[in-house]
Structure 1
Amino acid sequence: MEKVLFVNCCIRREASRSKMLADFFLSELLKKGSYEITELCLMDENLSYMSEGNFHQRDLLLANRDFSHHRFHYAHEFAQADKIVIAAPFWDLSFPALLKTYIENLCVEGITFACNEQGCFGTCKADYMIYVTTRGGFYEGSPMEMGSKYMEAMSQFFGIGKYDCVAAEGLDIGIRPVEVILEEAMEKAKVLAGNF
């Protein structure tokens, strides 16, 4: 049974359209195969950004190669998952700061990546990462869309070979019904779930 880590950064929780789309993807996934899904709801976590003291503590632990400290549990969980699903809304051209703080906590040399003479390379077990998002406007293919681009780059950094994004956009423009836009995104999600 493959282990799927679902990172939930849908700030509006059950009222979130990104969460609705992610839940649909995960339900389709369970129809297709045998998966153990662990949800990490970032809004319920006591995540700390890299302040001076926090950063100093991490450097001391890394210098001693002490990866057993509790502060590294996010990195261990991420590195050991077989598949990754991350859901977050499109905010300020990328995603909520909470997700960036989580990613800062994932980036631990010796757990999620390593370095040698050629540079850094990912060491995560996962072979596939899906990013689920919803956008009020139209940003697909635009240089202003930094959320999916950033997540794809991080996927490569962590050594995850395959990346896809499920996005529903134009939700707040009023040109097309929201339900229709979400249904189209769900169709893409269904296809990706079948190949996950």
Structure 2
Amino acid sequence: MKQALYIDCCVRGAASRTRRLADAFFAALGKDWQVTRLDLTQEELRPLCGAYFEERESLLREGRTDHPRFDRAHRLAEAELVVVAAPFWDMSFPALLKLYIENVSVEGITFRSTAEGLKGLCRAERCVFLTSRGGAYPDGDPMEQAVPYLRAIQRFFGIGGLDVIAADGLDLDGADVNAITAAACERAAALARAL
């Protein structure tokens, strides 16, 4: 069985438009994939500061990367496919996703320092980013920072490539929300079938 990690940052739960894209993607993903869902709204994610940060640094100095604190990082590093579902918020995505990334950025697990620079250690050949956005953001629009950030993180972790499926323009006047969402769901399903 191939291993897929589903990082669910759909903070609106069942009412999430992004969740619809994720549901379409996973309904079409082949049966040879075992999916582990990580619901970020249910995780106890904390920013790296104060005693929490010091504990992490102490564990890393001692080489204790097998500590349960690093389980999320190991799960990410071992996945063969990473799927991130997060809506567009404040020009990128909800802070929960940034907290997750901060917590899984662990030297010796998801990346390492070498004489030539940083090297990603994650196994995944692809990361899929599923999102819904109220506005319309063409590639390269400086008002959309989620994709450039995730593209940089994908490279940092050594993940092979980033595919983006976005339901754009959902909150624009006159938008046919159902048609836009259905089209994005079909693109998500087509991508899943191709994996």
TM-score range, shorter chain: over 0.9
Length, aligned pairs only: 194
Aligned residue for 2:41, secondary structure, equals helix
Q: Distance in 2 between matches of 1:28 and 1:178?
A: 22
Aligned to 2:192: 193
Q: Distance in 2 between matches of 1:163 and 1:63?
A: 32
- Cα-to-partner distance string for 1:121-180 (whole Å, 9 max, x where unaligned): 100111111000000011232111111211111111110112101100100113321011
Q: Which moved more, 1:10-19 or 1:168-177?
A: 168-177
CA shift for structure 1 position 117:
1.0
Aligned to 1:16: 16
CA shift for structure 1 position 191:
2.3
| Root mean square deviation of aligned Cα | 1.0
CA shift for structure 1 position 12:
0.3
Give the unaligned 5+ runs of structure 2: none
Q: 2:60 matched to 1:62?
A: yes
Matches within 5 A, 1:36-185: 36-141=34-139, 142-185=141-184
CA shift for structure 1 position 68:
1.5
Aligned residue for 2:10, secondary structure, equals coil
Q: Distance in 2 between matches of 1:111 and 1:140?
A: 34
Q: Is contact 2:20-2:185 (8 Å) kept?
A: no
Aligned residue for 2:65, secondary structure, equals coil
CA shift for structure 1 position 190:
2.3
Give the unaligned 5+ runs of structure 1: none
- The one-letter amino acid paired with 2:76 is F
- Runs of 4+ aligned structure 1 residues displaced above 6 Å come to none
Q: Distance in 2 between matches of 1:165 and 1:77?
A: 22
Aligned-residue identity in percent: 44
Aligned residue for 1:111, secondary structure, equals coil
What TM-score, normalized by structure 2, do the two folds share? Answer: 0.96
Q: 2:4 matched to 1:4?
A: yes
Q: Distance in 1 between matches of 2:113 and 2:33?
A: 32
Aligned residue for 1:49, secondary structure, equals coil
